[in-house]
Structures are given as C-alpha cells and as structure tokens.
Amino acid sequence: MMHLHILGICGTFMGGLAAIAKAAGHVVTGCDANVYPPMSTQLRALGIDLTEGWDAAQLDDVARDADVFVIGNVVSRGNPLMEAILDGGRRYISGPQWLFENVLADRWVLAVAGTHGKTTTTAMLAWILEHAGLSPGFLIGGAPVDFPVSARLTESAFFVIEADEYDTAFFDKRSKFVHYRPRTAVLNNLEYDHADIFPDLTAIETQFHHLLRMVPPHGRVIVNGGDAALARVLGRGVWSEIERFGLAEVAGTGPGWTVAMDGTILLGGAAQGQLAIAMPGRHNQQNALAALAAARHAGVPIAQGLAALARFRGVRRRMETRGSVRGITVYDDFAHHPTAIAVSIEAMRRVVGKARILAVLEPRSNTMKLGAVKEALPGSLRGADRVFCYAANLGWDVAGALAPLGTQARVYDELPSLVEAVAGEAQPGDHVLVMSNGGFGGIHEKLLARLA
C-alpha cells in the first residue's frame, strides 16, 4: 500500500484514477485549482481528502507522508507545489504511467481511441462486457447512465479504458494512450483537434502510429475503414490483427463490419442481427458497431452484445434531456468540434423531424478558443434552424466566422443576453440543443427558469 497525492485530481481521468487507487487499497489525497462538484463530491464520498489550490505547504501537511505524487497534465512548470516537489527530490509519476504499472500491466486492456465517440463507445463496450458477466474494470471519460461510477477496479482480467490522445504530463509529451498497451484497440476516427498541443494532423497521426506499435501480434486493431487519416496511420505499419468497420461495406484485410440504415449488423456481408439502441444518429450506430467488434474479440458473441446494447441507456451530456417547459425541450450535449456539432444536429433532426432546432453553442475547447477549425463552423451548424453562439473570451471574430449563416446565427458576449435571446425566440414544439464541453455557466437551468 502506498500514499498517493494526486495533482489535478478533479479532472475526469485523474478523478477516475483516484477512485481506482482507493479501491486498490492505497491512501489517496489530492489537490486541484478548483475543487467542485460533481467530482469533488464523489471523491470525498470515497474518503479522499481534497485540498484547493497549489500551495507548497501541502508538503508539510496532507502530502507530508506521500510515497508518490501523481501529476495530471493540467500541471505545468511554475506551479508552486510542483516546483517544491522537484526541489525536494520527491518521487513523481504521470497518471497514465501509474495506472499502467499498478493496474493495467496484468490485464487485457480494451482501449477506445479517436477524435469523436470515445466516451460513448467506451461506455457501450464496458456495458456489453458487464452484461456478459465479465465484470470489467473501466475508466470512462464521462458519466455512463448504466453504471453508478465512471471508473472502477474489479478482479476481472478485462479493463476498458477511454484512450485519450492528449499529452501525458509536462515531462512526458506523448499521448496518454501510449501507456495503456492495449490488446484490443478501437480507432473510431481521426481529425485535427487539440490545437494547443499538436501543430497539425500529421503530429496526431504519429501518436496513433506509436499506439499501434504496442498492440501485440495476437491483439486486434478495430478501425474505422472509411477514415482517410486512420488509413494513413495503418499505412505506417500494423503488426496485429485488423478488423474494419463502417457505415458501408469496406474493403481490406480481414472481415468487415457494417451497419445498415435500419440497424442490421453485417459481418463479412452476412447479417448478424438487429441493432436497437436508445441513442439516435448514425454516429451512434457506428460507435455500437465498434463496441460489438471489440467485445467479440474478448469472447462475447454478437447476439449477446446486441442484447446488451438494447438495454444501454447512454451517457450523460450526450443529447441528454434537461427539461421541458411549455412544449420547449432543452438538451445538453458535449459536442465541441465542428464534426461533432454536425452529427449531433443531424441525430436530433432524425428524432424531431421538421420541428425547429435552436442550436446554442459555447466554443470552449482549446481548439475552438484558438480558432483552429473556425472555417468549418458555419457548415457544421447549417442543419439547425437558429444558431446562438456565446463568444466571451475568444480571440477571434466569431461573428465574422458565422457570417455565411446570415440571419440564422446570432453572437453574444454576455450569458444573460444569450439566455434572453434564446428564450425570446423559442416557441412550443422547439428543441434547444445546448453544446459545450464545459458547464456553460449553468445555461440549461437558466433557460428552463426563464422559459417558465
């Protein structure tokens, strides 16, 4: 047993790691710049002592007896606690490396990577294995509806993990996922993102190439067969089994997985059964396809996987209904990249038909803040009837970027004005799709209160 003091403990990954370390019998404490619910509540319920801020005095107090400091990628040089750890010669390690050495090294790791759909696919895969009686450990970068926690440790040989391509720590600039050494690797898709870390798409492709170098020869790479960037990654070398999946029949080595518009699952052209999931959209059908393929590699028959997915209730903040007032429904969605925005609007359109969709967007991710994909933004929003964008604290001209949408789009620098505008526009029968990878200032509750 050891005492871990975790820097950046309230992040999704580091909070999950803390819960897993606690379940493994370790003493866990931690700190973060802002200690706030829901992660702070979950961690304190586990008996984990949390400190707000980066004061070096922690070394003489809660972290005095720490055996190792686990460093999140939110921590950079100049952080006073980190500087004191370095000066004191204290032992430190990144979160992903600690997780591998202490949890993943002896397990069959199923890792889900890609720009979009990681959280949903990881949750689907964990649920399928759970339904099959395999009781997997898991670490999911979101809140699955079907599990009471986003991370857990079990005695199972299987561990399902959301494999993020973001960098590991200030002292390890490789992607987090290179530490996981999966036996089953799912590659959902690949686009340019994380503009604060990667200069271009080629740099991200190199990290995915490094991931594939670690999959064993009898491991399996389950890859989106229609993604050009992933094709380039595979072209740089694959030393493992390959299965491709997609929305149309794909060519290549090994059997191909496809899903028809009506949900029919085909493997190598042969029908395997009918997919029925509560989450709308072709992108979620594709996520399910990847999860079925990965579960099959772990020994779960397709029919059993389909039965599990029929009971899968989804992930919070993925087109989650937050409330309905006077016939106006407000949703919360995590979409924060033009591709994700477009598929979320398309999925909602399939559900609501000709009813009006009011898209409310906060460009909050680092990629969005830097304006790296602003040219794609207008096209991603065209499927909505009205667009409301929150442009506070952005260093680029949002109104100019959305000008191709004309009067369809409005831009606001103040949240109260945005709420008032949406409430003034909304009519009975409308669907308000709020998209952000953050809390968006509690806009969902504010909108519902104003509509009431």
Q: Is the pTM of this model over 0.75?
A: yes
Asked, colleague to colleague, whether 106-309 and 320-451 share their fold, the answer is no
Q: Are 130 and 298 in contact (CB under 8 A)?
A: no
User: Chain-wide mean pLDDT for the chain?
Assistant: 89
- pLDDT for the residue numbered 393: 78
Alpha-carbon 154 to chain mean position:
22
Q: Which fold has domain 320-451?
A: Protein-Tyrosine Phosphatase; Chain A (3.90.190)
Tens digit of each residue's pLDDT (9 = 90 or more) over 300-326: 999 999 999 999 887 777 778 888 888
Q: Does domain 106-309 have CATH number 3.40.50.2000?
A: no
- pLDDT for the residue numbered 373: 73
> Quick one: DSSP state of residue 72?
P
Domain spans in the chain, listed from the N-terminal domain onward: 3-95, 106-309, 320-451
CA distances in angstroms from 164 to 139, 194, 232, 431, listed in the order given: 11, 11, 19, 31
- pLDDT for the residue numbered 253: 37
* Residue whose C-alpha is closest to residue 331's, from 352, 317, 347, 342: 317
**pLDDT-flagged residues of the chain (< 70):** 37, 195, 248-255, 367-372
- pLDDT for the residue numbered 60: 93
CATH code assigned to 3-95: 3.40.50.720
How does strand 320-325 pair with strand 328-333?
antiparallel
- pLDDT for the residue numbered 275: 92
Question: Cα–Cα distance between 9 and 242 in angstroms, integer?
Answer: 36
Peptide bond preceding 136 in cis form (omega within 30 of 0): no
Q: Residue 247 burial (CB < 10 Å; 0-12/13-18/19+)?
A: middle
Question: Cα–Cα distance between 46 and 356 in angstroms, integer?
Answer: 44
- Neighbour count for residue 406 (Cβ, 10 Å): 8
Question: Cα–Cα distance between 41 and 47 in angstroms, integer?
Answer: 10
Length of the chain: 452
